[in-house]
Chains A and B, each alone.
Chain A
Amino acid sequence: MQISLTPESIVKFGDFSVTNTVLMTVVISALIIISSVIVGKRAKHKKTKHKPKGLHHISEVVLELLLDLADSITGNREQSKKFFPYVATIFIFVILSNWIELVPGLGTVGVYQMHHGERELIPFIRSNSADLNMTLAIALVSVVMAQIMGISALGLKKYGKKFLVSPLKKPYFVGTFVGLLEIISEFAKIVSFSFRLFGNIFAGEVLLTVMLMLVPYFIPLPFLFLELFVGFVQAMVFAMLTLVFFKMATEEAH
């Protein structure tokens, strides 16, 4: 049983190594794209008011729940429709990546390869949220999107006034200091987003691997339920936090 902080690479194309998390990302993206194509085609064929069935029905339910959740935070239907595509994509992608570690075969189904002179088992299934590259990427995109949403809603000057408060106006110098702190807190958001998701999911994987190694039958069941719950909560927290940052970025300063 080996636990490594970094994902293990399966194939190398020159300098670019295809790791097992990249494989999982491709699988999940293919799943999402194929199901959206199927549901989109069926949604267009609605001639009369026939009831949606199967995948179409589930997708409608999930999207309606997410839209209501977005409404409860923004309070404004127009605004939540603007933010909704990005936030819902994050939610669906992250929850699928978190839940893929529950698939049987975590850490066990793989290939034997020579790494650093030793013959190691490279597992195929490793949740791609347990890869700091992916969580960092999503965090960066989210924070940059928040800035873009703020600039597009308020205009560059007004949005810049939140961060660069001039020291000659009312809260002298304290205002400038607070503005600088806001810039630093944007970077802290990137770090906190990526490490929160990475830490939770990686710790869950380690827990599952250890539990399954110790007692393979029945005892890991509560831990699997715990991982199910944690995966859902982390995805929801990521999406809701992104939504809250979007809302905070698009509202006027005081």
Chain B
Amino acid sequence: MIEETKAVSEGIMQNTEAAKSIAAAIAMGLGAIGPGLGIGILASKAMEAIGRNPEATSKIQTAMILAIAFTEAIAIYALVVALIIKFV
């Protein structure tokens, strides 16, 4: 079993196209975990605040969208790294 895994991974490392694809996939996949959790927490707190005080909805909404754009930017950095690995 170990011999086969070694052979497969050696084969992947020899072939640069395969290594690039795997690297790009791992970069994007791992990079999406953090922002996903972050946006979930943000949105849930915003919903709570709106439920508690429906009059301040538009203020909370504006601030929430701004904060979500900030956290989403982190996922975009991961995406740019994945694209650079794959296409450059």
Is there an interface contact between A192 and B73, defined as CB atoms closer than 8 Å?
yes
Neighbouring A residues of B87 by C-beta, 8 Å: 3-5
Contact stretch, chosen from B6-14, B47-55, B61-69: B61-69
Is there an interface contact between B69 and A196, defined as CB atoms closer than 8 Å?
yes
Complex Cα spacing A139 to B80, Å: 17
Neighbouring B residues of A106 by C-beta, 8 Å: none
Complex Cα spacing A216 to B46, Å: 39
Tell me how many residues of B have a C-beta within 8 Å of chain A.
15
**Distance of B68 from chain A, by nearest CB (Å):** 9
A160, CB-defined interface residue at 8 Å: no
Neighbouring B residues of A192 by C-beta, 8 Å: 73
Complex Cα spacing A51 to B79, Å: 48
- Residue A199 contacts which of B66, B77, B88 (CB distance < 8 angstroms)? B77
Neighbouring B residues of A234 by C-beta, 8 Å: 69
Q: Contacts A5-B88, A195-B77: A202 and B69 contacting too (C-beta < 8 A)? A: no
Is there an interface contact between B62 and A203, defined as CB atoms closer than 8 Å?
no
Is there an interface contact between A240 and B76, defined as CB atoms closer than 8 Å?
no
A206, CB-defined interface residue at 8 Å: yes
Neighbouring B residues of A198 by C-beta, 8 Å: 80
Q: Contacts A192-B73, A233-B69: A72 and B80 contacting too (C-beta < 8 A)? A: no
Neighbouring A residues of B84 by C-beta, 8 Å: 5
Complex Cα spacing A37 to B24, Å: 47
Interface residues of B in 29-88 (CB under 8 A from A): 59, 62, 65-66, 69, 72-73, 76-77, 79-80, 83-84, 87-88
Contact flags A227-254 to B (C-beta < 8 A → 1, else 0): 0000001101100110010000000000
Neighbouring B residues of A199 by C-beta, 8 Å: 73, 76-77, 79-80
Tell me how many residues of A have a C-beta within 8 Å of chain B.
20
Complex Cα spacing A72 to B59, Å: 8
Minimal Cβ-Cβ distance residue in A for B86: A3
Complex Cα spacing A195 to B81, Å: 11
Minimal Cβ-Cβ distance residue in B for A241: B66
**Distance of B71 from chain A, by nearest CB (Å):** 11
**Distance of A205 from chain B, by nearest CB (Å):** 11
A133, CB-defined interface residue at 8 Å: no
Neighbouring B residues of A176 by C-beta, 8 Å: none
Interface residues of A in 1-49 (CB under 8 A from B): 3-5
- Residue A206 contacts which of B76, B83, B88 (CB distance < 8 angstroms)? B83
Minimal Cβ-Cβ distance residue in B for A236: B65
Minimal Cβ-Cβ distance residue in A for B78: A199
Complex Cα spacing A4 to B88, Å: 8
**Distance of B32 from chain A, by nearest CB (Å):** 12
Complex Cα spacing A200 to B70, Å: 12
Neighbouring A residues of B62 by C-beta, 8 Å: 72
Neighbouring A residues of B59 by C-beta, 8 Å: 72
Neighbouring A residues of B76 by C-beta, 8 Å: 195-196, 199-200, 203
A5-B83, A199-B76 known, 9 other contacts, Cβ within 8 Å: A3-B87, A5-B87, A5-B88, A72-B62, A195-B76, A199-B79, A203-B79, A206-B83, A234-B69
Q: Name 13 interchain pairs, CB-CB below 8 A, sorted by A.
A: A72-B59, A195-B73, A195-B76, A195-B77, A199-B73, A199-B76, A199-B77, A202-B80, A206-B83, A233-B65, A233-B69, A237-B65, A237-B69
